Chains A and B, each alone.
Chain A
Amino acid sequence: MAAVQDTIDQVKDIDVDQYKYGFETDIESVRAPKGLNEDIIRYISARKDEPEWMLEWRLDAYQRWQTMTEPTWAKVDYPKIDFQDLYYYSAPKSTEGPKSLDEVDPELLATYEKLGIPLKEQAVLAGVQGAKVAVDAVFDSVSVVTTFKDELKKAGVIFCSISEALKTHPELVKRYIGSVVPKSDNYYAALNSAVYSDGSFVYIPEGVRCPMELSTYFRINDKETGQFERTLIIAEKGSYVSYLEGCTAPMRDENQMHAAVVELVALDDAEIKYSTVQNWYPGDKDGKGGIYNFVTKRADCRGNNSKVSWTQVETGSAITWKYPSCILRGDNSRGEFYSIAVSNGRQQIDSGTKMIHLGKNTSSRIISKGIAAGRSDNTYRGLVSAHRKATNSRNFTQCDSLLIGDQCGAHTVPYIEAKNSTAHFEHEATTSKISDDKLFYCMQRGLNEEEAVALIVNGFVRDVLQQLPMEFMAETQKLIGISLEGSVG
C-alpha cells in the first residue's frame, strides 16, 4: 500500500523549505577563540566561575576524548567534521549568565516571543487556564532566564541552569553529574563533558510532585558555533516531574553542531516524563546547512518502582544521532519510549532507544513511528536486553515506518538480547497487529480500512502528543493527522 494523499500533504507542510524558525537575532555576542584545546576548556570554566573539580573533570574528559574515534556505525553520511573549526563558547554580550526577567535584553525576549515561547511569568496561554510552564531559555552557550523560580522554590524544586547549580548546589551536581552518562561513554558525550557550556538542572525533593511542567528551550543563534548543553534531572524518592525540551536554529548554509548530554536519575517510586520536540534547522532541499545533532540521553531508574518515559517528536536536524535509553536497575522499574520521527529533504535520522533490564520484574515499552519523505533516510535502531539477574523482565516493541516517495529509505535495526529465560520480549513491526476488534468496530461504523487504521494509530499518537505542553502542540498537531497506512517494519 502506498501513502494516501492526506498524509503526503501533511508531511509536505513540515518539509524542510517550510522551516519557520530560521530567522536570526542580531545580537552582539562574546565568543571564545575558535578551536578546541585545554585553554578553551579553561576559558569556558573560568567564564562560568566553576569550582576546581569541575575544571579537572572537563580536562579529564578532553584527554579521553582525544583518544577516541568518531563512531561510524550509524546509518548517516556526512563530511568529516573539523572540530577545530568551531566556536565552543558563544554568549549574548548583554545577558551573560541568567538574570531576572527584567534584566534580560529585550531583543532576546523578542526572539523567544517570535518562537512562541512565553518567558513572561504572567503569560498564560489563551484558553488554557492554569497551564503554567516554567522555562529555562538557553541561547547559544548560556541560559538567559529561568521563569517561575520562586514558585518552584516554595515547592522545594530546584530548577535553574546547570552553571547556576554549580554555584548554589555544587554537592548535588558533583554527586550526580556523569553518573548516568560517564564522561568517556562515547565520542560525543566525552566532547560534551569537556566543553559543555550550559543546560538545565532539576532536583525534585522526596515526595514532591512538581507543581508545573518544566521546560528548556534551546536556541542556537550565533554562526559557526556548536551548542553543547548538559541537562541533569534528579527525582528523589516518590517524586514526579514532567520536563519538556524544545529547540530551533537559524537557517544557515553551513552545518552547525549540537552535542548534548541528558542524564536522568529516578530514585525509588519516582517518575520522570521527558518530552522533546526537536526542530533544529534541517538544511535546505539540497541538503545544504542544517544542524548535526549528536545527543546522548540516558535515564537511570536507580530506585525500585521508578519510571521514566521518553517522548520525542523529531522533525528537524540534518543528521540525528540519538538514542534516549533507560537503565532499569531498580526492581519493578519501568521504561517507556514513544517516538515520532519525520524526515524530509535530505535529512538523515538514526534514532531509537535502549532498554537495559537489570532489576527484577522490570518492564519496558517502545513505540516508534518513522516517516520518511523526500530524499531522507530514517533508521530506527534499538536495543532491548535482559541481563542474567533480570528475572521476569517484559518488553513490548513496535516500530512502524512509512515511506513517501521512492527516493527515501526507512530502516529498522532492532537488537534483542535475552540472557534470562524468564524474560518475555516481543518485537513487532507491522500495522496488521492493530487489534482486529478495534478495526472491526471502526469499519462497522462506515470507515474504510485505511481510515480506520489511520484513526486508531492517530488515536495512539494523540495520546502521546497530549503529554506535551500547549506550546508544542501547534507544530506537532500537524503530525497528528499523519496516518501510517501501508506501514513497513
Chain B
Amino acid sequence: MTVAKIKTKVEQELADQFAHVSGKLPGDASVKGARQAAIDTFDAQGLPHRHIEEWKYTDLRAIVKEALPLNVGDASAITIADVIVALGPLQTIDAQRVVLVNGAYRKELSSTEAQSGVTITPLSEALARGPVTAKGFGAGEAAPADDAVLALNAAYMTDGAVVEVATGTEVERPIIIAHVRAGGEAGFTAARHVLRVGANATVTVVEAFVSLPGAAVAGQMNTASEVDVGDGAHVDHIKVAVDTGAVTHLASWIGRLGKDSAYHGYHHTQGVGLARNQMFVTFDGEGAEVDLSGSYLGRGKEHVDNTLVVDHAVPHGTSRELFKCVLDDNARGIFQGKVIVQQIAQKTDGKQMAQALMLSPDTEFDSKPELEIYADDVLCGHGSTVAELDEGLMFYCRARGIPEDQARSLLVQSFIGEAIEVVEHEQVRGAITAYAEQWLEERAARSS
C-alpha cells in the first residue's frame, strides 16, 4: 500500500522559503549544488517524527508549529558591551571571542587574537571559495546520511566560524563562539562551525547561546559543528545554551577522532523551550578517548533531548558519557545514548550513565542507553537512574539546621555538580556552575 506523503504546513514553508532565500545564501556553484541536494534530502524526509526511532521522544513534526523567516546577514546596532552583558557568567572567562548576531559573523564585535597556527574565518567567506568540510568525513561517520535536521542546516547555513589549529599549536585562551539573539523579530538561525585541529594541538572551544534584552521571545536555531581532532590532539568543546522557554535549539555535532587524541564534549542547557543536542562521534585512530557529558535543567514545559552515537570503529578506544538532568514543573528530559563497538574494536572501554532528578510530580524522563557490541574483548557498561530527591539526605541536612529550601538547593547542586565537574577548563566550569546556581535561585524565588 503506498500512501502519498502529506507535508505539514511547516515542512512546506521550510521548502518554500529555500526557494526564496537560496539566492542570498553564501557559497560558490558547488556549495549551491550541495545546498540543493540537502533541501531535497529534507524534502524527502520531512521533519523527524516519533515513528523514526532516533526521534521517538522528540516529535518535531508535532512540536514545531511554524517556520520562522531565515536570518540572513545582520546589522543590529549592538555594542561589545551588550555582548559582554549578554554573556552573563561566561564573561568572566579570559577568552577570545567570535560573535555571531542572529547567525551572522560580526567581526567588529569579535576579539580574536593573532596567534601563529590559529586561523578563524567566517564560514560565509570560506563558502565563497567552495565547500568546507573537515577532512576524513564521509564513510563510516556516525551521523546518519539522511538526518533531516543536519540536512536543513546544510541547506540553510548562513555563517559560522571555521577554526583551524595547526599541528602542535597550543591555543592558550579558550575561543568563545557567542551566538547572540537580538532584535524584536523572531527568526530562524542556521549556522555551522568547522573545527579542524591538527596533530598534537590543544584547544578549548565554547559555543554560547544567549539573547540580548529585548530580543524576540521566540526563535529557532539549527547549528552544526564539525570537529576533526588530529592525532594526539586534545579538544574541549562546550556548548552552553541559556535562553527563553519559547526558543528551539537543534544542535548537531559530528566528530572524528585521530590516533591517541582526546575529545571532550559538554552540553549545558537551561531555560530552552526545546533543545535537541545530537552528537555523532567516530573513532578513526587507535587509543583515542572521548568524553561526552552534559547537564540540563528544565522547568515550565521545556523539553531537552540529548542524543548521541559513539562509533568505536578501531581498537583501544575509550568513551565516557555522563548526563545529569534536573526537571521541575512539567519539563521533560530525554537521553538517548548509543555506543557501537565494531568487530575490530577490541579492548574498547565504554561507560555510559544517565541520571535524572525529578523535582515535581509532572515531570517526565525518558532514557535509552543502548549498546551495540560486536567485539568480544571489551569492557562496556551503562547505567540509568530516575528518582526524586532522597528524603534521607534531606533529613540529614534538615537535622543539621539547614532550612528546607536551602537543603534542596544544596542537594540539587551536588547532583548536577557531578556532571559539571567533567568540564576541564576551570573558568568555564565556574561559569556553568554559576548558571546552575542562578537557576536554583530563580526556583527558590518562585516557590517562596
Contacts and interface: CB of A to CB of B under 8 A. Distances in A.
B366 interface: yes
Interface stretch (A150-158, A256-264, A413-421): A413-421
Interface stretch (B59-67, B143-151, B294-302, B380-388): B380-388
Contact of B379 (A1, A408, A413, A417): A1
B380 A2 contact: no
A429 B371 contact: yes
Contact of A421 (B346, B358, B368, B379): B358
Nearest to A394: B387
A408 B376 CA distance: 8
Interface in B338-383: 343, 346, 352, 356, 358-383
Interface string A149-190: 000000000000000000000000000000000000000000
A407 B346 CA distance: 12
Contacts of B343: 406-407
A210 interface: no
A416 B386 contact: yes
Contacts of B366: 415-418
A416 B367 CA distance: 5
A403 B368 contact: no
A4 B384 CA distance: 29
A426 interface: yes
A245 B343 CA distance: 36
B92 to A, nearest CB: 34
A10 to B, nearest CB: 16
A403 B373 CA distance: 9
B106 to A, nearest CB: 43
Interface string A404-435: 11111111111111111111111111101000
Contacts of B16: none
Contact of A403 (B375, B382, B384): B375
B218 to A, nearest CB: 27
A428 B381 contact: yes
B91 to A, nearest CB: 35
Nearest to A3: B376
A88 B372 CA distance: 36
B108 interface: no
Contacts of B346: 406
A422 B388 contact: yes
Contacts of B356: 418
Interface in A410-463: 410-430, 432
A425 B371 contact: no
A449 to B, nearest CB: 14
B53 interface: yes
A489 interface: yes
Interface string A373-413: 00000000000000010000000000001011111111111
A432 B376 contact: no
Contacts of A1: 377, 379
B385 A2 contact: no
A420 B361 contact: yes
A183 B75 CA distance: 62
Contacts of B381: 428-430, 432, 488-489
B380 to A, nearest CB: 4
A414 B339 CA distance: 13
Nearest to A423: B386
B382 A409 contact: no
A414 B364 contact: no
A17 to B, nearest CB: 21
B371 A488 contact: yes
B368 A413 contact: yes
Given A1-B379, A427-B384, A488 B359 contact: no
A411 B373 contact: yes
A78 interface: no
Nearest to A380: B371
Q: Which of B327, B367, B369, B371 has the most CB of A within 10 A?
A: B371
A75 to B, nearest CB: 8
Q: Which of B356, B365, B376, B385 has the most CB of A within 10 A?
A: B376
Contacts of B380: 488-489
A404 B358 CA distance: 40
A427 B369 CA distance: 9
B54 to A, nearest CB: 12
Contacts of B53: 73
A409 B386 contact: no
Nearest to A421: B358
18 contacts: A2-B377, A405-B376, A406-B346, A406-B377, A409-B374, A410-B371, A413-B368, A414-B369, A417-B364, A417-B365, A417-B367, A419-B364, A422-B361, A424-B388, A429-B381, A488-B381, A489-B352, A489-B380
Given A418-B356, A424-B387, 16 more contacts: A73-B53, A403-B374, A406-B377, A408-B376, A410-B371, A412-B370, A413-B368, A416-B366, A417-B367, A421-B358, A421-B363, A428-B382, A429-B371, A488-B373, A488-B378, A489-B369
Of all A-B residue pairs in the complex, the 5 with the closest CB atoms, nearest first, are A430-B381, A421-B358, A403-B376, A416-B367, A418-B386
